[in-house]
Amino acid sequence: MIEVREHEWPSTRAEAVAVQQRLRPLVRFDGQPAEVRTAAGLDVAYDESSDELVAAVAVLDVPALSVVDSATVRGRAEFPYAPGLFAFREAPPLLAALRQLSVVPDVLVCDGQGLAHPRRFGLACHLGVLTDLPAIGVGKTPMGRFDPPGQRRGDRSPIRMDGEEVGSALRTQHGVKPVLVSVGHRCTLDAACGLVLELAPRYRLPETTRTADHLVRTTR
């Protein structure tokens, strides 16, 4: 079973920023699994009220990409959405879903950013640190700047923020808009991109997030 690190959930934005700065040094870049046999996709969907939500985790076998475990949780958003503070809204229900898994995945594939974040501590870093599981972020909307990568599957270009490289714009399919990959915890950028390509043999997004996404919209 997944053990979640002792942590606190702030009620104001200023406190939330302080929590990020406190947890940021705990991000590690070593300790990757020798081989990824299972990968978890995580996603959250909201109802009309925008505070009632469904969180889901789907664990897929790698490289078969078959679903080996999953969990869903219904709940309420306790923190308003704010750019840079995304994790305080989505991490609580996602952690609740992760606790329900009977299979501990080798890596968490998060919907959003990892180090490609204003304080280098996006959702993927947050979930990675709190569970101490390897984690990566796969986003659809850029937070940093990058030159368009080549048009072929596998082509990538560095994402930069404040002059430093924080991730990769990765083309998962020919001529399709790239996804934004960044390290969350216990992993390298190269390994993260390699994994995303392995998880996205046919569509733009990894099968992990596609499965989790399908799960949250059929659970409402």
Q: Which of 59, 94, 98, 143 binds DNA (CB under 7 A)?
A: 143
Spatial CA neighbour of 218 closest among 33, 74, 34, 60: 74
Distance of closest approach, residue 36 Cβ to DNA, in angstroms: 22
Q: Which of 22, 102, 217, 218 binds DNA (CB under 7 A)?
A: 217
- CB nearer DNA, residue 112 or residue 134: 112
Q: How many residues does the chain have?
A: 220
Interactions with DNA, residue window 117-136 (CB under 7 A): 117, 122-124
Is 43 a known ligand-binding residue? yes
- For 142-202, give the secondary structure using H, E and C: CCCECCCCCCCCCCEEEEEECCEEEEEEECCCCCCCCEEEEEEECCCHHHHHHHHHHHCCC
Is 132 a known ligand-binding residue? no
| Amino acid occupying residue 188 | T
Residues 109, 41 contacting (CB under 8 angstroms): yes
Interactions with DNA, residue window 87-116 (CB under 7 A): 87, 111-113
Residues engaged in binding DNA (CB under 7 A): 43-46, 48, 50, 81, 83-87, 111-113, 117, 122-124, 137, 139-143, 217
What are the binding residues? 43, 111
